Amino acid sequence: MYGHDMQPAPARSGLPTNAALTRFLSTLLPLRPRDVPFLYHSPRYRHYNPETALTTKVILSVTPTEGVYGGTNQVQSQPPLVFLHRPFNLDRSRLAYGTTVVSSHTAFDEFLTVGYNTALATRLGLNSEGCECVQGYKGDPERRIGIVGRVSSTVGELTAHIRKEFGAWDEVHGFSDEDHAAPVDVVAIMNAFHAEEVQRVLDTAATRDWISVPSDGGRVLYLTGQARVPGLEAAMKKGIRVVCLGHRTAEEWGIRYLAQRLREQWPRLVVDEVYEVEEVVPRPPKRQRAEAQERESLPPPEEGGTQVEVQSP
């Protein structure tokens, strides 16, 4: 769906290796220029081999939180793998020994929120093969920021589908409960909301003859994350109906989608979803962080033995 769906060979135990799991995630979230490192944190002990190390548990979260750190430190047979969308405040010293962290920021926004999200488009009733991609943003001509497609639906039907997928939204504009039966012919799922993007959606729909002229937005529904005043003003002038989910709500859809795909791929894999607001705490001094990283590089203690401690000079 997003690139070539690879089908990694399952391990004999029915559990993936670290390498198989990261390869599978990379097919859903292909690498993008200037994105965060996909392999954000990896075990450093000498005998670690991602091709043979089994993963029994995955933790999925938008950001590093208490629940993420606590989940890595629970007693388990193998160190877990963590996925983070926004890993910027990760405190590596709080991760359990041997934890792997993978991350995707740009690609996650592009494919698994309100952007070029073909899975979501299909669930909302769009024929993804007949959709148009809105591409190019902030100087990056390759960046896909949205998908526009035709539907035969109503405001009531579409908002019911949206509520089923996301649970709630922040705000809506351009319609009320009285417009339940109003027809909708075009849906735009967009990861940007300024006057330029609004016009690009209308131009795309007019080019495909889904609307009569680019100024006719009365049967267009624009689904996005955060409300932006310039975008709202442009949309209201054109008669477009707008649903603003909120940034966090859109991101959490992507976490749920990843969880679903992982459970389908490996039914025996434990998949934990963490939905917490990140609490940013002051980081320890650089020297303490260096000591923590040095401890991470030490081999695990033999059974019945003791872990060697890093001594401060």
Write down the pLDDT at residue 78: 87
Per-residue pLDDT of 46-75, as tens digits, reads: 888 999 999 999 999 999 999 999 999 987
Residues 6+ apart with CB under 8 A from 239: 174, 216, 217, 218, 220
* Per-residue burial over 165-179, b = 16 or more CB atoms within 10 Å of its CB, e = otherwise: bbeebeebebbeeee
Res 30 pLDDT > 80: yes
Q: What angle is formed at CA 9 by the lines to CA 4 and CA 13, rounded to 5 degrees?
A: 145
β-pairing, 183-190 with 57-61? Answer: unpaired
Q: Give the confidence band of 8 by pLDDT, cuts at 50, 70, 90.
A: very low
Higher pLDDT, 216 or 186: 186
What DSSP string describes 114-170?
A: SSS-HHHHHHTT--GGG-EEEEEETTEEEEEEEEEEEEEEEHHHHHHHHHHHHS--S
Extract the runs of DSSP E, i.e. beta strands, from the chain. Answer: 39-41, 57-61, 81-84, 100-103, 132-137, 140-154, 171-173, 183-190, 220-224, 241-244, 270-274
Contact 204, 166 (CB under 8 A): no
Write down the pLDDT at residue 298: 52
Two structure tokens written together for 120: 């979501």
Contact 103, 84 (CB under 8 A): yes
Higher pLDDT, 47 or 150: 150
Per-residue pLDDT of 187-214, as tens digits, reads: 999 999 999 999 999 999 999 999 998 8
**Domains of the chain, first to last:** 18-107+253-297 (3.40.1390.30), 115-244 (3.40.1390.30)
- DSSP for residue 22: H
Closest CA to 120 of 171, 186, 165: 165
Per-residue pLDDT of 215-265, as tens digits, reads: 889 999 999 999 999 999 999 999 999 999 999 999 999 999 999 999 999
Per-residue pLDDT of 14-26, as tens digits, reads: 999 999 999 999 9
Contact 231, 217 (CB under 8 A): no
Least-confidence region, from 89-93, 266-270, 306-310: 306-310
Residue 92 falls in which region: left (phi positive, over 0), alpha (psi -120 to 50) or beta: alpha
